[in-house]
Amino acid sequence: MYDPRATMARMTLQDVLDFGAPEVAGSFGELAAGVVRTPLRFGAWVDVAPRWLRAGDELFETLAGTVPWQAERRQMYDNVVDVPRLTKFYGADETWPHPLLREACEALSAHYLPTLDEPLVTAGLCLYRDGRDSVAWHGDRIGRSRYQDTIVAILSLGATRTLALRPRGGGASMRFVTGHGDLIVMGGSCQRTWEHAIPKVAESVGPRMSIQFRPAGVR
């Protein structure tokens, strides 16, 4: 016969904690409950989920050690910008360097499907080796994002840096902190009507990695 007291007696403290907070079960937090949206002007918005990935150390170490990172100093988006950082782009049909990336991409695709109407399918990886690495002001405007609303979801690992945003036509900039495991999603018209950047920092900081998930034909 089912005896709830007998079940309780077998539960450990961790079971009780997990039971009280079911979202800690997987690698990623529950997006429906954990995302906070900041609406921006011109139909843009930013979603933030701090510590979306709870245990990212192994992911960081594996990516840092196994991804064939490439130096990037070239024309990017619609400007020629100085891009001191390392990158590696993974298309939809390529083998991605860690199973957690597919897991993240699938969770994000499911959550944003009602808005986006299509899945996120590519993973762009960036490595900012220290505070001198950065990316200048730009919108991700290669492809359909030049004229269509879209979503770019960014998972951050490693050192805390700032993602800055400013309206394309001029105006005050906003700053979002990107720490280890944090998720920041730019949506709506953000890539057309706003620009974003990872500014350099003067103080000494360790390496930061970002993983950007995008739909097909957006870069």
Q: Write the binding mask 160 to 199 for ligand AKG: x where contact by CB under 6 A, - elsewhere.
A: ---x--------------x-----------------x-x-
Q: Which residues pair with 211 in a beta bridge?
A: 125, 155
Q: Is 25 helix (H, G, I), strand (E, B) or coil?
A: coil
Q: Does 140 bind ligand AKG (CB under 6 A)?
A: yes
CB 46 within 8 A of CB 196: no
CB 197 within 8 A of CB 137: yes
Of 72 and 140, the one with the shorter C-beta distance to Fe ion is 140
**Where does residue 171 fall: left (phi above 0), alpha (psi -120 to 50 degrees), or beta otherwise?**
left
Of 86 and 198, the one with the shorter C-beta distance to ligand AKG is 198
Could you say which DSSP state residue 52 is in?
A: S
Provide, rounded to whole angstroms, the least separation between the CB of residue 119 and ligand AKG: 19
CB 193 within 8 A of CB 147: no
Of 23 and 64, the one with the shorter C-beta distance to ligand AKG is 64
Q: Write the binding mask 119 to 148 for Fe ion: x where contact by CB under 5 A, - elsewhere.
A: ---------------------x--------
Tokens representing residue 51 in the block:
């510590």
Q: Which residues bind ligand AKG (CB under 6 A)?
A: 124, 126, 135, 140, 154, 163, 178, 196, 198, 210, 212
Q: Which residues bind Fe ion (CB under 5 A)?
A: 140
